[in-house]
Amino acid sequence: MCEPLTVIEVQDEGAALPVVRDQDHGATSGRGLLLMAQLVHDWGVRPLDGEGKITWARCAR
């Protein structure tokens, strides 16, 4: 039996695709995707027609 998952989606108008950055202990920002990638089952990006994208994540309920 498959584990039930919750899907979370965030839409923005930016054209740039998100990138998981290498951990920089001295940085004060840039950890969001790194943390998310470690906490969720999987995630990805879906471009929208025109401008923008949806970043989605599936996580256990």
pLDDT digits over 9-57, tens only?
999 999 888 888 887 888 888 888 888 888 999 999 999 998 899 999 9
Decide if 13 contacts 55 (C-beta within 8 A): no
Instruction: Indicate whether 34 belongs to any domain.
Output: yes
Position 1 in a domain = no
What pLDDT is stored for residue 10 in this prediction?
94
Evaluate whether residue 26 is within a structural domain: yes
Q: What is the pLDDT of residue 45?
A: 95
The pLDDT value recorded for residue 3 is 80
Print the domain residue range for 36: 6-59
Tell whether 52 is covered by a domain. Answer: yes
**3-state SS class at 5:** strand
| Total structural domains within the chain | 1
Give the list of residues 6+ apart from residue 4 with CB closer than 8 angstroms, or none. Answer: 60, 61
The answer as to whether 37 is a domain residue is: yes
User: What is the pLDDT at residue 20?
Assistant: 83
Report if residue 17 sits inside a domain.
yes
Rounded-to-10 torsion of CA 53, 21, 28, 52: -10
Q: Please, which residues bridge with residue 42 across strands?
A: 58
Q: What is the pLDDT of residue 1?
A: 61
